């Protein structure tokens, strides 16, 4: 699993013009990608990193600060662009594999007491955010 974590002051995701998830105070946006051999171990490690990584202001974590997280599925994190000009998506897990794992990350974060908003898996989403810092971190587990 991979996640791009962005420290934000606010963020939202829209599907067909409707806001389906939003955070209105400082926290993180987590763009989450899944590959074929990911499972429960990767879910637990990624959720722990999202919750405990000290990248918020004053070196706080999401858990320390009581900050929210907006989780958005992002299969394009597994794009392969080594050849030619057109990415391939072979390393990205298909929806039936990836969706339950992204949902499991959300469930694990909530079990840790984190407020979580989400996008809509597989939808054409418009993500708006105000990057704070900017701070952007790639996490691979």
pTM of the model: 0.95
From first to last of the 141 residues of the chain, give the pLDDT tens digit.
Answer: 999 999 999 999 999 999 999 999 999 999 999 999 999 999 999 999 999 999 999 999 999 999 999 999 999 999 999 999 999 999 999 999 999 999 999 999 999 999 999 999 999 999 999 999 999 999 999
Q: Which residues are catalytic?
A: 74-76
Phi and psi for 75 in degrees, rounded to 5?
-65, -25
Mean pLDDT score of the chain: 97
Comparing C-alpha atoms, which of 139, 123, 138, 117 is closest to residue 10?
117
pLDDT in tens, 91-132: 999 999 999 999 999 999 999 999 999 999 999 999 999 999
- Complete domains list, the chain, with CATH: 2-140 (3.50.80.10)
pLDDT of residue 26: 98
Q: In DSSP terms, which residues pair with 137 in a beta bridge?
A: 5
Q: For residue 41, what are the contacts with CB-CB under 8 A and spacing of at least 6?
A: none
């Amino acid at each position: 699993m991979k996640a791009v974590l962005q420290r934000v002051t606010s963020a939202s995701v829209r599907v067909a013009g409707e806001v389906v998830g939003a955070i209105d105070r400082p926290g993180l946006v987590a763009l989450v990608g899944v590959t074929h051999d990911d499972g429960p171990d990767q879910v637990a490690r990624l959720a722990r990193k999202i919750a405990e990584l000290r990248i918020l202001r004053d070196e706080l974590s999401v858990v320390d600060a009581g900050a929210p997280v907006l989780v958005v599925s992002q299969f394009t994190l597994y794009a392969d662009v080594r050849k030619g000009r057109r990415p391939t998506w072979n390393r990205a897990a298909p929806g039936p594999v990836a969706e339950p794992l992204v949902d499991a990350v959300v469930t694990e974060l909530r079990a840790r007491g984190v407020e979580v908003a989400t996008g809509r898996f597989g939808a054409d989403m418009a993500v708006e955010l105000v990057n704070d810092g900017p701070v952007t971190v790639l996490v691979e587990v």
